[in-house]
Amino acid sequence: MNNRNLPRIAFVGIGLMGLPMAGRLVKAGYPLVAWNRTREKALPLEPLGAEVASTLDEAVKSADMVITMLEAGPVVESVVQSMSSVLREGTLLIDMSSTKQSEAREIRQMLEPRRVAFLDAPVSGGVVGAEAGTLAIMVGGTEKDFQRARPVFEVMGRPTLVGPTGSGQIAKLCNQLIVGGTVAIVAEAMLLAQAGGADPEAMRRAIRGGFAESRILELHGQRMLDRNFKPGGQIKSQAKDHANIMAAAQDAHLQLPLTALVSDLFSGLLTDHAEADQAAALLALEKLNEGIRLGTRPDQF
C-alpha cells in the first residue's frame, strides 16, 4: 500500500495486545513509530517496517495520531502528561487501554489546552482478536474525530462510536461485566457436572447449540477442561476491570450484586494467579469447594 497519504502513527505500549495491533497497522502500510518502556518488546516490529524510538518524545513529536495501549488509567495519565508538551496541535490521541470513565475525561481535559483531539477506544477480543484484526472497538468522542480514526480502527477490528468521551470505557466495562460473569458461570457449571457425576466434557457438548451457547463456553470451557491457564485475557486485567465496573456503578448510584461477587472472585486470584488466563476462575471455585477438581489433567500456566 502507498503510505504517502496515510497518517503517521506513534504506537505507545507494545505488550501482549499492542504488538499484534501495531503489527497490523504496519502491514497495512501505515508509517509507524513504536515506543515501549522496555524497548526490546517493540523490536519485533522493526522487520515489519516500523521504527522503534528510544524515547517517548521521539516517538510522538511528528505523529498525526498517537495510540496508547497501556496497563491502566494512572499509567496512561502519566504517559500522556509526559508527552503533552511535544504533541503538535491537531494531533489525535487515541487511548485504547482499559481505564475508568473519569480518567478518560481527565485526559481529554489535559489535552484540550494544546488543541490535541482525544478518543477513548478500549477493545475486546484478546490477543487472538488483535492478531486477526477482529477486535470489538468501543469509541468515545466526537463524530468528527471518530470518522478521522475509522480507517485506522478498521485495520484492527470493528469500531463503534458509543457516545461522548468516556463512553468507550463504559461500553468496555459492560463488555467485561458480561465476559467475567460468564467465565465464572461456565466454571461453576463445569464443577457442578464434575461433582454431580456427569462427564463435564460431554455436558459441554450437550448444551452447545442451545441457549447456553457462547464464545466463552466454546473457548474458555475448553480451556477449563484442558486446564490450560496460559495467559490470553489475564486475571489481573479482569480484576482491574471489575474494580472499575464497581467504581462506575458507585458513581451512577447503582447496585450490581452479581458483579460484586464476580469482582471478589477475580480479586481473590491476584495473589497466586495474576498472570493466568481468566479461565483460572475455575481455580477459585475449586479452592472454595475443597476436594472437587475438574478432570485429572495437570495445570498449565
**Which residues are catalytically annotated?**
172
Residue in the structure block whose three cell numbers are 478432570: 295
Query: Would you say 266 and 241 are in contact if contact means Cβ atoms under 8 Å apart?
Result: no
Q: Is the dihedral of CA 111, 75, 13, 119 positive or negative?
A: negative
In which element (H, E) is residue 257 found?
helix 257-267
- Backbone angle region of 31, left / alpha / beta, with phi > 0 → left and psi within -120 to 50 → alpha: beta
Q: Concatenate the DSSP letters of all residues of 19-68 into one string.
A: HHHHHHHHHTT--EEEE-SSGGGGGGGGGGT-EE-SSHHHHHTT-SEEEE
Question: Residue 47, class by beta-carbon neighbours within 10 Å (0-12 exposed, 13-18 middle, 19+ buried)?
Answer: exposed
Residues 6 or more apart in contact with residue 198 via CB below 8 angstroms: none
